[in-house]
Amino acid sequence: MNHSSAVIAEGAVVPASCSVGPFSVIGPNVVLGENCVIHSHVVIDGHTTIGEGNEIYPFASIGMKSQDLKWKGGVTRTNIGDRNTIREYVSVHSATGDGEFTAIGNDNYILAYCHIAHNVIVGNRVVMSNLATLAGHVVVGDHVVLGGMAGIHQFCRVGRNAMVGGCSKVTQDVPPFMLADGNPAEIRMINKVGLERNGLGETVIRSIKKAYRFLYREGNTLAAALAKIEADIPPSPEIQHLVDFARTSPRGLTK
């Protein structure tokens, strides 16, 4: 299943169910899960673990050393889950500090030319459209959609079920369930279509819409908006998650 021109270093773990294409390079500390398809001209190096059923397209670079100027050596890791699609020219860098890691979850669709920098955490079922870029230490929640050429500033978080429009510049946290767009990005509305597609019911969506109004349309301070959310909206896991996200935001919420 492995092309004769592929270079698989001694020590690499590549199950027989995997396929490694022409001129791809697998480093000595790489572990692949079952049924991975590695197309031609892919480089996977560093201390990198990739789960089952992933497909990685030509010229992707996975697990290479961080571009962070603070890198001082040590063992850093890249951990990727199951059933991810990683398209052409995607780069996923390892972490910066000894013992740290970059992590990608399961069932993600990462399109051509995307960049995932050091110490980034990407959840599950995320779509990153072409040229979307995550700077160091970014955290992306489950079911997020990032539009083409969106740029996420270092240390920012994008909450679950949020959407970021194409060409947006995100410099503060995007709350869960919201739609952010612009340069710099602003919260425009709730991500209604995304919420419906992911099975959130009408009652929950109405609650999220009301929370959005308290946060963004009534001129409340953040503390006042959160107090109104807790007082006026029936409790649910989604509303509690939104409140907790807002209260633990080190960079502040996108305006």
Residue 234 belongs to domain with CATH number: 1.20.1180.10
109 and 16 in a single domain? The answer is yes
How many domains are contained in the chain? Answer: 2
The total number of residues shown for the chain amounts to 255
pLDDT at 240 over 90: yes
pLDDT at 90 over 90: yes
pLDDT at position 1, please?
A: 80
42 and 109 in a single domain? The answer is yes
185 and 227 in a single domain? The answer is no
Q: What is the tens place of the pLDDT at every residue in 98-111?
A: 999 999 999 999 99
pLDDT at position 208, please?
A: 98
157 and 111 in a single domain? The answer is yes
47 and 160 in a single domain? The answer is yes
What dihedral angle (degrees, nearest 10) is formed by the CA atoms of 169, 175, 177, 181? Answer: -20
Model pTM greater than 0.85? yes
Pick the last residue of a domain from 147, 173, 190.
190
Cα–Cα–Cα angle for 220, 157, 206, nearest 5°?
Answer: 50
168 Cβ contact list (under 8 Å, min separation 6): 147, 150, 151, 180, 181, 182, 183, 185
Domain span holding position 94? 7-190
Q: What is the mean pLDDT of the chain?
A: 97
How sure is the predictor about 144, in pLDDT bands with cuts at 50, 70 and 90?
very high
240 and 139 in a single domain? The answer is no
Which residues are bridge partners to 116 per DSSP? 92, 134
143 and 228 in a single domain? The answer is no
Question: What does the pLDDT average to over 242-252?
Answer: 96
Domain assignment present for 2: no
How sure is the predictor about 28, in pLDDT bands with cuts at 50, 70 and 90?
very high
Pick the last residue of a domain from 190, 212, 227.
190
